[in-house]
Amino acid sequence: MKIIIVGGGWAGCAAAAEAAKIGAETVLLERTDMLLGTGIVGGIMRNNGRFTATEEMIALGGGDIFELVDQNYRHENISFPGHEHASLYDIGKIPGAVTRYLTGLGVDIRFQARVTKITKDADRITEVITKQGETFAGDVFIDTTGTAGPMNNCVRYGNGCAMCVLRCPSFGGRVSLAGLAGVKEMQGVKSNGAIGAMSGSCKLYKESLSPEIVELLDREGVAVIPIPADLVENHLDIKACQQYALAEFAENVILLDTGHAKLMTPFFKLSRLQKVSGFENARYEDPYAGGKGNSMRYFAMAPRSNSLQVEGVDNLFCAGEKAGLLVGHTEAIATGALAGFNAVRYAAGKELLVLPRELAVGDAIAYVKDQMKTSEGLGLKYTFSGSVLFKRMKELGQYTTDREEIRNRVGDLSLTGVLSSL
Ligand SMILES: Cc1cc2nc3c(=O)[nH]c(=O)nc-3n(C[C@H](O)[C@H](O)[C@H](O)COP(=O)(O)OP(=O)(O)OC[C@H]3O[C@@H](n4cnc5c(N)ncnc54)[C@H](O)[C@@H]3O)c2cc1C
């Protein structure tokens, strides 16, 4: 069984880990020279309902990548406005740790392998072909190419290319595998009706901040610094991550220590930021043009079943942002593991797994699919860490940080360890 995964963000990495673990020959094709995609500049894990989802995946036997991330934190169990028990991974160490982990599992990782063409036989993909001219044949394919950019979308629907970590000018923009296979994809919309959403955080060089702020970040992992009223900028309504669209995030500079200082706003005019005490020398690390904009996302989501099989192509699965308006690493890793599992089950001629709605992860996958049938639902974003999905988790009684309760919930459904073998 040969599984070809296109896109090495968190979803693709989790799919690759799962497929290789349960015995498939696994190839992971990544457009750039690093794994983790937008995750290279992320870091927030286990906040609010993400804790529950993470522990569910561990109990299901598909939490390997979560356990690896747990070993690479700079700060654990911190709080910041609206968010409890968050942990922050070290963005300097995590891409290397994941690359070594997948290589150890036998995953064949190819960098600078940007898929731009495919070969199809009726409703099946037979091969993918990279811009560099290499061909990869497989039994089953997984689209984890994400929804961010490329540059023309950032220019048309955002504030221009902000020079983000996706580095489209250097490696070529995102190309959707489902799109190449002829699938009609869906797009998210902002509250003003325009399509896409702007990424919600930037990174500042810590060394460009005052020693007091750096000391606070190193010690606490978080710094909340009030912004004088005349300097406030409010970009909350265009954010992809609606869980941080709270007034506190406009009225304060909220920084999290992921190695750099993660600034929890889509962008902030540099000359204005430099007027805030402690930020006189502030410099953006990501995106380089964080003073004027950020990457744009949610342009290409595939219609799919709750087993994450893409509609209209027999041997194609999807995960992460490609699988819907799901925001976050946890959401990408959880769906990635399920897509990796089901891709191998499909190749082996076995029944596909749909996670039951009694579980937070199963409910989220089904709920987002239903929500995306309505124009109102396409205007929202879904994450275990806040906004509508976290509210729903609490209403359904699914949110808990009690590991034993989560293990029992999975056990009562006879699903303990189901993702650990074929
Ligand atoms: C600035 C920023 C900060 C964030 N911070 C956080 C955070 O702290 N916590 C959190 O939970 N979430 C955060 N998020 C959201 C989170 O990163 C994403 O929702 C999630 O990681 C998406 O993962 P993905 O694998 O679906 O997509 P992506 O991360 O977009 O990965 C897709 C990958 O596919 C590759 N690719 C695309 N086309 C091709 C092709 N044709 N051939 C080969 N490869 C291709 C891309 O290069 C990329 O590596 C942040 C997002 C951004 C942009």
Does the N-terminal peptide bond of residue 226 adopt cis geometry, omega within 30 degrees of 0? Answer: no
Instruction: Please name the residue whose Cα sits nearest to atom 18 of ligand 1.
Output: 328
Ligand 1 center to 284 CA (angstroms): 19
In a domain, 194, yes or no: no
Are residues 81 and 14 located together in one domain of the fold?
Answer: yes
Mutate to test the pocket of ligand 1, among 329, 331, 387, 389 (most ligand atoms within 8 A of CB): 329
Are residues 184 and 215 located together in one domain of the fold?
Answer: no
CA 181 to chain centre: 23
Instruction: Please name the residue whose Cα sits nearest to atom 11 of ligand 1.
Output: 328
Q: Are strands 140-143 and 2-6 parallel, antiparallel or unpaired?
A: parallel
In a domain, 238, yes or no: yes
Count of Cβ atoms closer than 10 Å to residue 288 Cβ? 14
In a domain, 379, yes or no: yes
Ligand 1 center to 65 CA (angstroms): 15
C-beta of residue 149 within 8 angstroms of C-beta of residue 174: yes
In a domain, 253, yes or no: yes
**The predicted structure's pLDDT at residue 249:** 86
Of 260, 286, 312, which one is at a domain's C-terminal end? 286
At 288, list the tokens. 């380089």
Instruction: Please name the residue whose Cα sits nearest to atom 9 of ligand 1.
Output: 44
Any residues with Cβ below 6 Å from ligand 1, and which? 6-12, 29-32, 37-39, 41-44, 113-115, 144-146, 148, 174-175, 199, 201, 295, 320-322, 327-330, 332
114-154 per-position pLDDT tens digit: 999 999 999 999 999 999 999 999 999 999 999 999 999 99
Are residues 184 and 258 located together in one domain of the fold?
Answer: no
Count of Cβ atoms closer than 10 Å to residue 233 Cβ? 14
341-380 per-position pLDDT tens digit: 999 999 999 999 999 999 999 999 999 999 999 989 999 9
**The predicted structure's pLDDT at residue 241:** 65
In a domain, 125, yes or no: yes
116: left (phi over 0), alpha (psi -120 to 50) or beta: alpha
Give the atom of ligand 1 at the shortest distance from the alpha carbon of 335: 26
Phi, psi of 79 (to 5 degrees): -125, 150
Q: Is the dihedral of CA 327, 329, 330, 335 positive or negative?
A: positive
Residues whose CB falls within 8 Å of the CB of residue 1, separated by 6 or more in sequence, listed in order: 23, 24, 25, 139, 140, 344, 347, 348
Q: How many CA within 13 A on the CB side of residue 375?
A: 5
Are residues 321 and 282 located together in one domain of the fold?
Answer: no
In a domain, 38, yes or no: yes
Mutate to test the pocket of ligand 1, among 5, 29, 38 (most ligand atoms within 8 A of CB): 38
In a domain, 169, yes or no: yes
At 275, list the tokens. 């007027």
* pLDDT reading at 242 higher than 80: no
Q: What is the pTM of this model?
A: 0.98
Instruction: Please name the residue whose Cα sits nearest to atom 47 of ligand 1.
Output: 31
173-229 per-position pLDDT tens digit: 999 999 999 999 999 998 778 899 999 999 999 999 999 999 999 999 999 999 999
Percentage, residues of the chain above pLDDT 90? 93
* pLDDT reading at 248 higher than 90: no
**The predicted structure's pLDDT at residue 190:** 82
Domain membership of residue 180 as a residue range: 2-189+297-420
Ligand 1 center to 37 CA (angstroms): 4
Are residues 208 and 267 located together in one domain of the fold?
Answer: yes
Instruction: Please name the residue whose Cα sits nearest to atom 42 of ligand 1.
Output: 114
Structural domain count, the chain: 2
